[in-house]
A and B are shown apart, each in its own frame.
Chain A
Amino acid sequence: MIPLVYVEESVRNHPRTESILARHPRASVVPIERYGSIFNHSQQNFRLQKQRPALILANKHGHFVQPAPDAYGVGGNHNWYFSHMLNCLYDCRYCFLQGMYRSAHYLVFVNFESFLDDIDSKIETGKQNWFFSGYDADSLALEPVTGFVANALPFFATRPDAWLELRTKSTQVRQLLEHDPLSNVVTAFSYTPEATWKATEHKVPSIEKRIQAMKKLAENGWIVALRFDPLIEQAGFNDAYSALFEQIFSQVPESMIHSATIGPLRMPKQFHRTMENLYPEESLFVSGLAQTNSMVSYPAEREREMIEWATDELEKHLPGNKIFPNLPS
């Protein structure tokens, strides 16, 4: 339950604000001038806020759609990302958001139309234009609150050159299942092996539940995808990832899987330090990581070994042209 909703005065009468507030009748509503007075304000603590986050409803002004980082592509011509929401329902200890923001509150920009208009302006006809939505938040976990997907599907249904990636660790696929499948909307599920899920992905549904959600989508004609990004070091790394791949591919038909990406655990030095300060008892931030220039990651040789091994292992289940290893240069 969301106990508190901060609402920017400029969106107080927005129909989406009213519908979100109507779904949270017991929450205290606090009017604010700008979301910056709450979100990322100094003298707040991400770790403590994460224990009971509030919701912030705000208006985003500009910079709706941005070029995606180079490593983000899955074979398209143009790659963009957008963040109609910041922060996540889940509490993954390796997540860079906890190093990036001081606030753990869920920030939702209710002017979805502005995002969709900007997406529209970026589409190059005849090309594959990708729009990634899960960069600063889980794309589906808060769908019952935001209703973003319900708004986006009719938009993408009429724009075949625009591809939407919904990246998630959730099982919130009802909104998709209620809609006819779209060939240009891909729901990408992120996974780590069982031991890492248990140790670091707090509040994330079990691997099996996510596979079931994925399977249900595939059975209903929706394209799905796999994201092993980041790969997390653990004892028995190879066996753990082999078992995970087997668990997934034994249940989800390869034909419905658009792609699999594999990426390293990397973060700016300052993010790492912030995360370590927040959770000093967390061994993940110490185990096997090394600092190179301004980045913290596994040592380059080990990073390459992990990614190459995972790529080879995935090729046992997926054709090579569906696998996108992100090996930093």
Chain B
Amino acid sequence: MIHFVVAFDAEARPLIDHFKLKRQHHERSFPVYLGEQHALIVSGAGKIASAAATAHLHGLTGFQHQQVWINFGIAGHPSLPVGETRLCHQVIDKLSKQVFYPQLVIKSPWPSESLFTLDEPDDSYADDALLDMEASSFFATANRYATAELVQVVKVVSDNAEAPINDIPTKQQIIELLAPQVEQLKHFSDSLQQLANQLQPDRRIGEAAAYYQQKFHFSFSQSESLRHLLQQWIALDAAISTDELCRFDAKSSRQLLEKLQQQISDAGQPT
């Protein structure tokens, strides 16, 4: 699942249209939109709102770990032209001085840049970096659920020293700024999803574990051992089917684990 966290409705619109996301009307805390592979939440402006929305979406999509998280939206910059897009390699919370480092491990269509997250709008453009009001708390929250390679911040410049923030862009202007980036954002997020897929446990482990757990009672540590042994068996026989993994009969969970251990010892000998 690819999770988007945006601050404003206008930032959400190009994504909703592109990914054909459906509004979840029963959701009252935040506007939430879901598709088959994508989830989007509109946090509102500011760090607290962004952290709360990120946590809310995590719960709403099943508290899954190692999923893709992207904060997408507009940002200021002292000199970059309006409409330029940047991936953030460093996110600095201006107030707390905390620094976060999204890890950039796939090729990005955009150059990378540092970003300062501010508590209030600032039209001085004193720092040579992007400026926003959400990214630091988004990152700090999402990085609890996913490794830093899967949590990314993508910003499109909406204002700069020549066109400062007091000329607040209209909803339509924001849509026009962000919409041209969505196709590239799709490719970028798909690549991140491929990374995330590498961290997902093999489906057969869950299926076989569920089968055995219906037959026997397992303590927590026994359940962990069961999954570990099934994983090892798959490592030794990549093509093994779930049925084959479920072929053992036993009198108890303990005996089953012993049989699995023996199977792995036998299969692990070089031939």
Question: Could you tell me which A residues sit within 8 Å of B by CB distance?
Answer: 3-4, 6, 28, 30, 32-33, 37-38, 41, 43-45, 47-49, 51-52, 54, 233-235, 237, 280-283, 285-289
The answer to whether A281 and B270 touch across the interface, beta carbons within 8 angstroms, is no
The answer to whether B99 and A37 touch across the interface, beta carbons within 8 angstroms, is yes
Task: Please count how many residues in chain B sit with their CB below 8 Å of the partner chain's CB atoms.
Answer: 35
Question: Could you list some 23 contacts between A and B, CB below 8 A?
Answer: A4-B89, A4-B112, A6-B101, A41-B148, A43-B144, A43-B148, A44-B103, A44-B148, A44-B149, A48-B103, A48-B198, A48-B199, A52-B105, A52-B107, A234-B270, A237-B270, A280-B235, A281-B235, A282-B235, A286-B236, A287-B236, A288-B270, A289-B268
A237 to B270, CA, bound (A): 9
The main secondary structure of chain A at its interface with chain B is: loop
Q: CB-CB < 8 A to B143: which residues of A?
A: 43
Q: CB-CB < 8 A to A282: which residues of B?
A: 235
Within 8 A of A (CB), among B69-104: 89-90, 99, 101, 103-104
The answer to whether B105 and A283 touch across the interface, beta carbons within 8 angstroms, is no
The answer to whether A288 and B112 touch across the interface, beta carbons within 8 angstroms, is no
The answer to whether B147 and A43 touch across the interface, beta carbons within 8 angstroms, is yes
Say which residue of A4, A32, A234, A289 sits within 8 Å of B104 (CB atoms).
A4
A45 to B151, CA, bound (A): 12
CB distance from B21 to the nearest CB of A (A): 27
Besides A44-B148, A48-B198, A283-B235, 6 new A-B residue pairs in contact (Cβ under 8 A), listed by A number: A28-B111, A30-B89, A43-B144, A54-B103, A280-B201, A288-B270
Given contacts A28-B111, A234-B270, contact A45 B149 (CB under 8 A): yes
The answer to whether A235 and B270 touch across the interface, beta carbons within 8 angstroms, is yes
Within 8 A of A (CB), among B98-146: 99, 101, 103-107, 111-114, 143-144
The answer to whether B148 and A286 touch across the interface, beta carbons within 8 angstroms, is no
The answer to whether A54 and B270 touch across the interface, beta carbons within 8 angstroms, is no
A215 to B153, CA, bound (A): 49
Q: CB-CB < 8 A to A30: which residues of B?
A: 89-90, 101, 114
B271 at the A/B interface (Cβ < 8 Å)? yes
The answer to whether A52 and B236 touch across the interface, beta carbons within 8 angstroms, is no
Q: CB-CB < 8 A to A52: which residues of B?
A: 104-107
B225 at the A/B interface (Cβ < 8 Å)? no
B166 at the A/B interface (Cβ < 8 Å)? no
Q: CB-CB < 8 A to B232: which residues of A?
A: 286
The answer to whether A281 and B234 touch across the interface, beta carbons within 8 angstroms, is yes
CB distance from B39 to the nearest CB of A (A): 21
A287 to B130, CA, bound (A): 50
